[in-house]
């Protein structure tokens, strides 16, 4: 197999040939057809997440076809198209797992971070954490659903739970996750307000093409108070900005895995029962729900395709914000 491997934190990924991996008990092997590039991959490469493991093959938005099935696996056929997300394995016995919060497992494994991911031609996955994808939709178009889509969906559900009702939803950082969630929220009857880097008029136009009723810079206040806001950009300074933009009893949800420090802010921004919460990882239920919902709602992803060997360029372009939507690597 071939893979783009992170051998040293902060170093470019290296194009490497390796022996083909074999699926162990409970595992399946996929021949990869597409893998999305997520902002979390930048945090992995930069060593910004705790306990980084190298060498590692990044990538946790994997679309591929089952080409080998390990002992003890039922429910998958050779040739079946499946997706593999960030949550790669949980222990099933810790407090969070037993309490129905497997996203908070004490002994988790994460695809492309603690177990090898999808910047490769082959990957091995725990079969219990792989989602059947069916045959509808192109491989590359589905890849961003597996993290950007899922985490946006989980963040949106939590925003609804906290805020109670949402007419006006703010999205801070209009990248891969927001461009999917904007479609979901609009189709479910919510108004979307998109906040981009100040001056990024192209992303603001892009948000309007996806039915955002308002788009502006993150330094602007929306024309009306929001019921909830979700922050996708890894910028702590957006927390007080978003709190300022939401109504009494509204919610601000931080959806990223890593964020720069949050600056201090007046208590008045949180006062009046505004809620500030974070979202961590996903549960398989989120995945099954969202992957059923996305085709029903006719969600379309905007993708920029790179050859697998160009993964470093894809990461650099993501960092610089040079494309709209999501980058996808294709072997």
- Residue numbers at the binding site for Zn ion (CB under 5 A): 38, 40, 90-91, 94, 97, 105, 147
Q: Map residue 270 onto helix, strand or coil.
A: coil
Is 62 or 241 the residue whose CB approaches Zn ion more closely? Answer: 62
CB atoms inside a 10 Å sphere around CB 201: 11
Radius of gyration of the chain from Cα atoms? 19
Is 50 or 189 the residue whose CB approaches Zn ion more closely? Answer: 50
Q: Closest distance between Zn ion and the C-beta of residue 194, in Å?
A: 20
Q: Closest distance between Zn ion and the C-beta of residue 164, in Å?
A: 28
Q: Closest distance between Zn ion and the C-beta of residue 98, in Å?
A: 8
Is 69 or 140 the residue whose CB approaches Zn ion more closely? Answer: 140
Q: Closest distance between Zn ion and the C-beta of residue 37, in Å?
A: 9
Write down the H helix ranges in the chain.
39-45, 95-98, 139-142, 148-163, 176-187, 201-209, 238-245, 284-297, 311-320
Of 9, 21, 16, 11, nearest in space to 116 by CA:
21
DSSP string, 151-184: HHHHHHHHHHHHHS--SEEEEES-SHHHHHHHHH
Measured between alpha carbons, how far is 219 from 122 in angstroms, rounded to an integer? 43
Q: Closest distance between Zn ion and the C-beta of residue 103, in Å?
A: 10
Is 183 or 281 the residue whose CB approaches Zn ion more closely? Answer: 281
Is 105 or 315 the residue whose CB approaches Zn ion more closely? Answer: 105
């Amino acid at each position: 197999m071939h893979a783009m491997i992170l051998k040293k934190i902060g170093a470019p990924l290296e194009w490497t040939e390796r022996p083909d991996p074999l699926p162990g008990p409970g595992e399946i092997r996929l021949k990869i057809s597409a893998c999305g590039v997520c902002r979390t991959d930048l945090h992995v490469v930069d060593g910004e997440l705790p306990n980084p493991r190298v060498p590692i093959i990044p990538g946790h938005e994997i679309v591929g076809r089952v080409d080998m099935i390990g002992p003890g696996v039922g429910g998958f056929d050779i040739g079946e198209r499946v997706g593999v997300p960030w949550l790669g394995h949980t222990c099933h016995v810790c407090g969070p797992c037993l309490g129905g919060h497997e996203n908070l497992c004490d002994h988790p494994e994460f695809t492309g971070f603690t177990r090898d991911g999808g910047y490769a031609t082959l990957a091995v996955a725990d079969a219990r954490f792989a989602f059947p994808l069916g045959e509808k939709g192109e491989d590359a178009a589905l890849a961003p659903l597996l993290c950007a889509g899922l985490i946006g969906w989980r963040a949106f559900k939590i925003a609804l739970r906290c805020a109670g009702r949402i007419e006006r939803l703010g999205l801070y950082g209009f990248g891969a996750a927001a461009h999917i969630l904007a479609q979901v929220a609009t189709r479910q009857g919510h108004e979307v307000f998109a906040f981009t880097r100040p001056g990024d008029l192209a992303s603001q136009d892009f948000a309007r093409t996806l039915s955002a009723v308002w788009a502006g810079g993150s330094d602007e206040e929306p024309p009306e108070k929001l019921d909830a806001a979700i922050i996708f950009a890894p910028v702590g300074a957006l927390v007080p900005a978003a709190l300022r933009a939401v109504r009494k009893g509204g919610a601000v949800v931080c959806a990223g895995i890593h964020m720069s420090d949050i600056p201090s802010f007046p208590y008045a921004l949180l006062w009046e029962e505004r809620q500030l919460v974070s979202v961590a990882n996903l549960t398989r239920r989120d995945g099954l729900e969202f992957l059923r919902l996305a085709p029903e709602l006719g969600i379309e992803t905007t993708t920029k395709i790179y050859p697998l060997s160009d993964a470093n360029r894809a990461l650099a372009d993501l960092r610089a914000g040079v494309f709209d939507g999501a980058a996808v690597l294709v072997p």
